[in-house]
Amino acid sequence: MIERADFLARFGGVFEHSPFIAERALDAGTVAEPMTAAGVHAALTEVFRKASADEQMGVLRAHPDLAGKLAIAGELTEDSRKEQAGAGLDRLSAEEHARFTALNSAYTQKFGFPFIIAVKGLTKDDILAAFETRIDNSAQEEFETAKTQVERIALLRLTALLPGD
């Protein structure tokens, strides 16, 4: 079995800035060898789903705005930077950046957490379309949608770290 410190170093950031998820999964004994992306994802997702609503909200709030201040300042996590760059969010025109900024502000004000979407395979236009649709969701619908997206992001990150099943 992988050493605790190694596991936490490797997987503690899979759920953005929320190492408690990896800690609890390891402590629960739900992480089994051989580790695969699907297996570790199942263990981490189980912890995320069992976390309190406040803890889940904390995970959502740990995510950066898309094309936001942290991206401009170069302060994203390496995973977030690569994910946003892959969707072209690091190459927005001034007009596109202004649109993302306005949507980020309106969305965060309405829901209390940043807009979260698994950007892999999406274009900036896909992301803007989802943004504009989801901002009309109810608070509960968007909380559930954002949690689903966080789980998808975690799976994509794990797939980059581990073999599949």
The confidence score (pLDDT) of residue 163 equals 75
pLDDT at 65 exceeding the cut of 90: no
pLDDT at 133 exceeding the cut of 80: yes
pLDDT at 67 exceeding the cut of 70: no
CA distances from 19 to 64, 66, 112, 153, 165 (A): 16, 22, 21, 15, 24
> Among the listed ranges 59-63, 64-68, 126-130, which one has the minimum average pLDDT value?
64-68
The confidence score (pLDDT) of residue 49 equals 98
Catalytic residue among 17, 41, 63, 97: 63
DSSP secondary structure of the chain? ---HHHHHHHHTTSSTT-THHHHHHHHHT---SSP-HHHHHHHHHHHHHHS-HHHHHHHHHTSPPTT-HHHHHT-S-HHHHHHHHHTTTTS--HHHHHHHHHHHHHHHHHHSS------TT--HHHHHHHHHHHTTS-HHHHHHHHHHHHHHHHHHHHHHHS---
pLDDT tens sequence across 25-35 = 999 999 988 99
The confidence score (pLDDT) of residue 75 equals 57
The confidence score (pLDDT) of residue 73 equals 47
Question: CA–CA separation, 23 vs 25, rounded Å?
Answer: 6
Question: CA–CA separation, 160 vs 84, rounded Å?
Answer: 15
Read off the pTM: 0.89
Based on the residue annotation, tell me whether 63 is a catalytic residue of this protein. Answer: yes
